[in-house]
Amino acid sequence: MKEFKIGLLVLFIFFAFARNCVYAKAYMSDIELIKSIQKYDKKINKNPDSAKLYIKRGFLKFCLKDYGSALEDYTSAEELEPKNANIFYSRGRVWFECKKYNFALEDYDKAITLSPKDSKIYLSRGMAKDKLNDIDGAFNDYNLAIKYNKHLRDAYVNRGIIYDKQGNYDRALGDYYKALKLRKYGPDAYYNIGLTHCKMNQFDDAIEDFTEAIKQNPNYSLAYYHRGLVYLELDNQQFAKSDLQKAYQLNPKNLEIKEHLDNLNKKLNKMLEYEEFYY
């Protein structure tokens, strides 16, 4: 019975296929993923000509961040079913996580040739093009993703980011709000709305946006960081310090956050020395 439940879960998360495997990780620990992989090892030994088994095992390995083995499984599946668009899409996602964006594009192109109206493939290809600074190509792919699925909220968020880069802030905000209309939980959308409001010098609105992003995701380091920068802009140094400290606590490897925090601490220390000298 337990094996049956895990099987259903694997099918569900396979077709859900979230960008960073968050659905799988939400339900399965690393140990559970390894155990499931071991079960597929036995199934593949008994039935080595089943592409579906390689695809499912490849997905579990992808969630485990065992990208090399995942690539091997998807390549084995391709040899068995060379016209299965999902295989190329899935392998493209692995290449993307490996930062091999050109390889990802090759697989996404093949997947789209086989499944030309699959919105999620256009979304993923757009993300790869964005990484390669092909902004126009990414924008076109996000448009196609929305054309084939008007409810694909990540396509709106990503297209909004491009509008923002182009300085088209009204359209950027329009896309972010469309994404939130599709799903109220959207810390990334609120974060990007905050960034856009900053560029429009609407700092009070930006604080509200970053605050909502933090409310939805209390570990959102960049939201704390940028809210701290807004507080600095508004000369609210104590609130800025609190946010920058929290951002650095959550992301101690971010040197930019550390630099701003160090500079603020130096400024506050000088102010304290000045006050002590005169009082």
Model confidence over 23-33: pLDDT tens digits?
Answer: 555 467 899 99
Model confidence over 88-116: pLDDT tens digits?
Answer: 999 999 999 999 999 999 999 999 999 99
One-letter amino acid identity for 145? A
> What tokens were used for 245?
């400290």
At residue 29, the pLDDT reads 87
pTM reported for the whole predicted model = 0.84
Higher-scoring residue by pLDDT: 20, 48: 48
Q: What's the mean per-residue pLDDT of the chain?
A: 90
Binned at pLDDT 50, 70 and 90, residue 38 comes out as: very high
Ranges of each domain in the chain: 15-82, 219-279
Model confidence over 115-146: pLDDT tens digits?
Answer: 999 999 999 999 999 999 999 999 999 999 99
Q: What is the CATH number of domain 15-82?
A: 1.25.40
The DSSP annotation for 148-195 comes to: H-TT-HHHHHHHHHHHHHTT-HHHHHHHHHHHHHH-S--HHHHHHHHH
